[in-house]
């Protein structure tokens, strides 16, 4: 379990840094793979673009998605992941500063497993990340991986 | 019926002929006697030997009388003939009367032998003088001829005189026949001869018959029963006794029987003959009368049927008149409708081209309203065609009218007439083949109003689109603010935290304090951003109307506050059962803010009290939240509800300054109003009303965008 990666889709390096620090402080030692935008995230997930030929059996244990991303919108990523047979069971959590109701509803309806608002307070933020990681990586079993 | 002269019966002309014959005979007789005198032929003067010879003078009188009668009968229109006839008659009268006077007064005027000497005169006789018995009838005859005239009294007189002369001639004539001398010889005077008696009778009858349909003769020649009877009886009654008497007298003279027998025979014969005559006449009259009665009945029947027909025709006349009156009234009604109706009315005749397609129409009649609506004048258009009157007009009209005439189906359409620059609504139908009647209403104003409405509607839609775009922009802006303003704050706070945790040994106490300040300020800024976003959402979100239990909401808010700060002692007084129409989620925000403020601003009170209740304001319920906290100066009441307006320092009472602005926005969106009363240090009361109409109309949903129901606002 510990060799599985956490896919963090986030274009803000400050947020990336804070999130990584929160994982570390919560003793979650999985490698955090950071994608700068939606296109990169999808390429990684489906072995396209610069990630052509990547071993697709090695899927992330958790995807954390920022909603506001360059190029492909954050909501588009979970939609595409859910639409594909290989990745549809991956846990995806929308991690955003938006509190817009429309975003929340859209996120859930597109297959996000969870929707977490990033608090400004760094202690609260660290606590939210810790709980998310624990919930999805420890309480949830591994998703069945295709092939094998 | 005017009485018309009946056509003269044949008897009239026969009697006239008789009269003419008598005149001729009298002339001939007179001339004969004159000839006899002149040639001294005895037979010509006394007819029979032994008879009294005729004197000379009666002969010319007879000729004059005959000539006079002939002239009068000839009925010459020339007054000369009449005057001559009257002259002859006058001579007769004068001679007759003068001769009579000679006898009466013993004169001898010397005209007795003017024509001839009278050698045969008996002794004692004035020679040549005619008998006195002859003078009177001649005088009568002369008078009769003098006055003989068609007029009634004249005819009557003439005929009376003629009748008298006839009788005076008849008496001596009969006397001669029966040898009764006293009848033709009076006293010592000389007797009248047979011939003058005969001539007198003839002239008398001739004069009587001269005007057979006038005077005494009228009944004899009339078509009446009396006339018939008279004609039938007159001749036998006059002639039979004379003839029988003569025959009986002849028999007696021949010695066949003696006088008494002859009387008996005469009487019996007279009775028989006259009775037969009467009976025959009675039968005849009876038959005539029966026919007359039948004719009368027939006439009455015909009359009755005629009257019946007249009545029927009168009834028909009346019917016809009633129909005509009804038609006239109906015509007048339609005419008045035609002239008084406000819709234009026109009758056209469709004109076809060579292919039988309608190509034009001719104005047959238009009413005053049509003139008014189109501006065309009757005298200018009636009789002319559409293309003549309105050249270049939209062919739509001709086509539309032609279609109605071809199909016979009434149609209604609206169209613009470029020639008249007006919009019309037209109802068209076909009253007769090739004709079309149209009822026209000017809808130009309505069309313009519609166009204006369309324009305004378009404007509204354009504005709505603009508003929508603006809302979308605000949404995008809010989204952007939510993300992009918060992200740096997270960085500031997060790295401050990282500094404090990972590098605390490199900082002194003051430095660590500064870092804490950096963190708390960035967190307060995050709160401000959140509050702003909430305010923006309130403005944009739609209202979900429902019955909202305000009392229950207030209790929940109070309980939440108490739970958050259990150490505080605040006395809540909440009036139960306050229910209003509104959006429950937004009204919760209102109460959270108002009660939350009350909670906050009573924080420094030893015995805090917060009250939620209802009062009446301007006839409608106003809800209030009252506290006995810090209060405010009424001078600043206007600033209470502005965004980021604060009447207290952050260090005194924490807050974003957004709360009351949000509350006011929510209340306004409910069509209500909000205001506050307070005094520094003496607490504050916030009142708000909701949709006025919902309360006044007794509940139910009402338009949320209604204007003018916010009589008073604070802080705007």
State the residue for tokens 């990681």. A133
Within the 495-524 window of chain B, which residues sit less than 8 Å (CB to CB) from chain A?
495-498, 519, 522-523
pLDDT at A96 over 70: yes
Average pLDDT over residues A21-27: 86
Q: What is the pLDDT of residue B703?
A: 38
Range of lowest pLDDT (A42-56, B40-54, B192-206): B40-54
Q: Per the CB < 8 Å rule, is B486 touching A100?
A: no
A127 touches chain B (CB under 8 A): no
| Inter-CA distances, B118 with A93, B114, B124, B125, Å | 195, 10, 13, 10
Q: Name the closest residue on chain A to residue B481, using Cα atoms.
A: A98
How wide is the angle at C-alpha A18 spanned by C-alphas A12 and A23, nearest 5°?
125
Contact B482 A98 (CB under 8 A): yes
* ipTM at complex level: 0.73
* pLDDT at residue B618 tops 60: yes
Which of B69, B325, B62, B31 lies closest to B210 in space, CA to CA?
A: B69
pLDDT tens digits for range B318-377: 899 999 999 898 888 888 888 888 888 999 999 888 888 888 899 999 998 888 888 888
- Pairing mode, strands B422-429 and B411-417: antiparallel
In this predicted model, what pLDDT tens digit does every residue of B64-87 receive, in sequence order? 889 988 888 876 666 788 888 889
CA–CA dist B149, B144 (Å, integer): 9
* Torsion over CA: B389, B392, B397, B398 (sign): positive
Q: Is A15 in contact with B479 (Cβ distance < 8 A)? A: no
| pLDDT: which is higher, B698 or B18 | B18
State both tokens at B610: 């917060």
What confidence score (pLDDT) does residue B649 get? Answer: 66
In this predicted structure, what is the pLDDT of residue B400? Answer: 86
Q: Any CB–CB contact under 8 A between A121 and chain B? A: yes
pLDDT, chain B, mean: 83
Contact B491 A15 (CB under 8 A): yes
Test A122 with B487 for CB contact under 8 angstroms.
Answer: no
Q: Which residues of B touch A122 (CB under 8 A)?
A: 490, 493-494, 496-498, 519
For residue B523, the chain A residues in CB contact (below 8 A) are 120-121
pLDDT at B653: 65
In whole angstroms, give the CA distance from residue B118 to residue B121.
Answer: 6
Q: What pLDDT, on the 0 to 100 scale, is given for residue B697?
A: 39
Integer CA distances (angstroms), B77 to A89, B14, B82, B142, B208, in order:
155, 21, 8, 21, 21
Interface test with B, best of A15, A117, A122, A123 (most B CBs within 10 A): A122
The answer regarding whether domain A6-139 maps to CATH 3.30.470.20 reads: no
Residue B625 has pLDDT above 90, yes or no: yes
Q: Which among A12, A98, A122 has CB closest to B497?
A: A122
pLDDT top residue among B716 and B419: B419
How far is Cα B408 from Cα B413, in angstroms, rounded to an integer? 15
Asked if residue B46 has pLDDT above 70, the reply is: no
User: Is A68 in Cβ contact with B519 (below 8 Å)?
Assistant: no
Contact A14 B487 (CB under 8 A): yes
Q: Say which range, B169-173, B209-213, B593-597, B697-701, has the weakest mean pLDDT.
A: B697-701
Higher per-residue pLDDT: B449 or B534: B449
Of A15, A17, A21, the CB nearest to B487: A15
What is the token pair recorded at B293?
A: 């009665």
What are B1-16's pLDDT values in tens digits?
444 445 567 888 888 8
Mean pLDDT throughout A34-52? 84
Contacts of A118 in chain B (CB under 8 A): 486, 490
Under the banding of pLDDT at 50, 70 and 90, the label for residue B109 is confident
Short-list B462, B426, B461, B420, CA closest to B441: B426
Asked if B634 has any chain A CB less than 8 Å from its own CB, the reply is no
Q: Are B570 and B599 in contact (CB under 8 A)?
A: yes
Give B639 or B260, the one with higher predicted confidence: B260
- Given CB atoms, is A18 within the 8 Å cutoff of chain B? yes
Indicate the pairing of strand B684-688 with strand B620-627.
Answer: antiparallel
| Nearest alpha carbon to residue B625 among B642, B648, B600 | B600
Question: How much of chain A is in helix, strand and coil states, percent to nearest 5?
Answer: 40, 15, 45
Give the count of alpha carbons within 13 A of B455, CB side only.
6
Over residues B491-504, mean pLDDT: 88
Q: Counting one residue from A and one from B, how many pairs have CB atoms under 8 Å apart? A: 59
pLDDT at res. B609: 92
Q: Which of B478, B479, B526 sits opposite A120 (nearest CB)?
A: B526
Tell me what pLDDT residue B51 has. Answer: 67
Share of chain B above pLDDT 90, in %: 14
List phi, psi (to 5°) of B546: -165, 170
For residue A95, the chain B residue with the least C-alpha distance is B483
Nearest chain A Cα distance for residue B544, angstroms: 16
**Mean pLDDT (whole number) for B84-101:** 89
As a whole-number percent, the residues of chain B with pLDDT over 70 amount to 90
CA proximity to B641, closest of B594, B580, B589: B594
For residue B489, the chain A residue with the least C-alpha distance is: A120
Nearest CA to B103 among B186, B198, B200?
A: B186
What is residue B715's predicted lDDT score, i.e. its pLDDT? 36
Give the three-class secondary structure for B118.
Answer: coil
Rg (CA), chain B: 75
What does the pLDDT read at residue B124?
Answer: 67
Most A CBs within 10 Å, among B485, B490, B492, B527, to test the A interface: B490
Is any Cβ of chain A less than 8 angstroms from the Cβ of B479? yes
CB-nearest to B487 from A21, A97, A99 is: A97
Tell me the DSSP string of A136-147.
IIIISPPPPPS-
Residue B415 has pLDDT above 80, yes or no: yes
Give the pLDDT mean for B93-119: 81
Instruction: Please tell me which residue, B78 or A17, carries the higher pLDDT value.
Output: A17
Q: Does B213 touch chain A (CB under 8 A)?
A: no
Query: For A36, what's the count of Cα atoms within 13 Å in the CB-facing half-sphere?
Result: 3
Whether A36 contacts chain B with CB within 8 A: no
């Amino acid at each position: 379990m510990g060799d599985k990666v956490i896919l963090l889709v986030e274009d803000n390096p400050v947020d990336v840094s804070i999130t990584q620090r929160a994982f570390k402080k919560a003793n979650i030692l999985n490698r955090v793979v950071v994608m700068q935008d939606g296109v990169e995230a999808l390429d990684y997930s489906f072995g396209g673009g610069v990630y052509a030929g990547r071993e697709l059996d090695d899927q992330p244990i958790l995807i954390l998605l920022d909603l506001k991303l360059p190029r492909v919108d954050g909501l588009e990523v979970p939609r595409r992941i859910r639409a594909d047979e290989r990745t549809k069971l991956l846990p995806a959590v929308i991690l955003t500063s938006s509190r817009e109701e429309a975003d929340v509803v859209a996120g859930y309806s597109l297959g996000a497993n969870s929707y977490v608002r990033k608090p400004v307070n760094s202690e609260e933020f660290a606590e939210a990340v810790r709980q998310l990681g624990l919930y999805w990586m420890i309480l949830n079993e591994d998703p069945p991986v295709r092939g094998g | 019926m005017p009485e018309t002269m009946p056509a003269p019966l044949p008897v009239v002309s026969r009697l006239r002929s008789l009269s003419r014959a008598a005149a001729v005979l009298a002339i001939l007789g007179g001339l004969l006697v004159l000839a006899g005198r002149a040639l001294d032929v005895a037979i010509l003067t006394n007819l029979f030997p032994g008879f009294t010879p005729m004197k000379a003078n009666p002969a010319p009188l007879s000729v004059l009388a005959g000539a006079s009668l002939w002239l009068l009968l000839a009925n010459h229109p020339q007054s000369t003939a009449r005057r001559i006839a009257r002259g002859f008659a006058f001579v007769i009268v004068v001679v007759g009367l003068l001769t009579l006077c000679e006898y009466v007064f013993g004169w001898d005027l010397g005209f007795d032998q003017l024509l001839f000497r009278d050698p045969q005169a008996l002794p004692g006789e004035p020679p040549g003088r005619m008998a006195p018995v002859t003078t009177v009838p001649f005088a009568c005859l002369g008078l009769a001829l003098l006055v003989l005239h068609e007029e009634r009294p004249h005819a009557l007189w003439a005929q009376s005189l003629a009748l008298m002369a006839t009788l005076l001639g008849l008496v001596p004539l009969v006397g001669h026949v029966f040898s009764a001398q006293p009848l033709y010889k009076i006293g010592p005077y000389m007797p009248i001869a047979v011939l003058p008696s005969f001539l007198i009778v003839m002239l008398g009858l001739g004069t009587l018959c001269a005007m057979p349909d006038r005077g005494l003769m009228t009944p004899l020649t009339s078509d009446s029963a009396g006339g018939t009877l008279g004609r039938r009886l007159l001749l036998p009654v006059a002639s039979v006794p004379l003839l029988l008497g003569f025959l009986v007298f002849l028999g007696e003279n021949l010695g066949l029987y003696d006088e008494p027998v002859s009387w008996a025979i005469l009487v019996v014969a007279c009775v028989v003959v006259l009775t037969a005559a009467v009976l025959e006449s009675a039968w005849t009259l009876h038959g005539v009368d029966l026919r007359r009665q039948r004719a009368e009945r027939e006439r009455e029947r015909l009359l009755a049927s005629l009257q019946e027909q007249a009545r029927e025709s009168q009834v028909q006349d009346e019917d016809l008149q009633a129909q005509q009156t009804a038609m006239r009234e109906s015509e007048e009604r339609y005419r008045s409708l035609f002239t008084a109706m406000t819709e234009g009315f026109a009758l056209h005749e469709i004109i076809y081209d060579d292919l039988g397609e309608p190509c034009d129409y001719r104005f047959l009649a238009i009413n005053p309203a049509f003139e008014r609506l189109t501006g065309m004048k009757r005298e200018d258009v009636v009789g002319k065609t559409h293309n003549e009157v309105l050249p270049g007009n939209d062919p739509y009209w001709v086509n539309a009218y032609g279609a109605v005439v071809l199909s016979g189906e009434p149609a209604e359409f609206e169209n613009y007439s470029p020639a008249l620059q007006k919009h019309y609504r037209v109802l068209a139908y076909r009253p007769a083949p090739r004709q079309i009647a149209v009822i026209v209403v000017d809808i130009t104003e309505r069309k313009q109003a519609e166009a204006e409405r369309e324009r305004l509607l378009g404007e509204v839609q354009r504005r709505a689109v603009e508003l929508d775009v603006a809302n979308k922009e605000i949404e995008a802006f809010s989204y952007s603010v939510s993300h992009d303003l918060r992200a740096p704050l997270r960085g500031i706070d997060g790295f401050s935290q990282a500094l404090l945790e990972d590098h605390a040994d490199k900082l002194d106490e003051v430095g660590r304090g500064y870092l804490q300040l950096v963190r708390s300020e960035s967190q307060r800024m995050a709160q401000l951003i959140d509050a702003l976003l909430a305010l923006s959402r309130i403005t944009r979100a739609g209202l979900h109307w429902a019955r909202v239990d305000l009392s229950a909401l207030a209790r929940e808010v109070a309980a939440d506050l108490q739970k958050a700060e259990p150490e505080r002692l605040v006395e809540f007084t909440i009036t139960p059962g306050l229910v209003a129409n509104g959006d429950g989620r937004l009204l919760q925000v209102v109460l959270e803010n108002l009660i939350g403020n009350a909670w906050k601003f009573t924080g420094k009170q030893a015995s805090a009290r917060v009250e939620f209740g209802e009062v009446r304001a301007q006839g409608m319920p106003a809800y209030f939240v009252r506290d006995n906290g810090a209060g405010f100066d009424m001078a600043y009441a206007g600033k209470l509800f502005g965004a980021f307006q604060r009447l207290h320092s952050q260090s005194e009472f924490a807050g974003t300054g957004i709360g009351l602005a949000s509350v006011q926005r929510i209340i306004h969106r409910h069509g209500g109003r909000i205001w506050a009363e307070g005094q520094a240090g003496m607490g504050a009361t916030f009142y708000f009303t909701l949709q006025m109409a919902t309360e006044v109309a007794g509940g139910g949903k009402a338009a949320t965008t209604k204007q003018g129901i916010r009589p008073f606002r604070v802080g705007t």
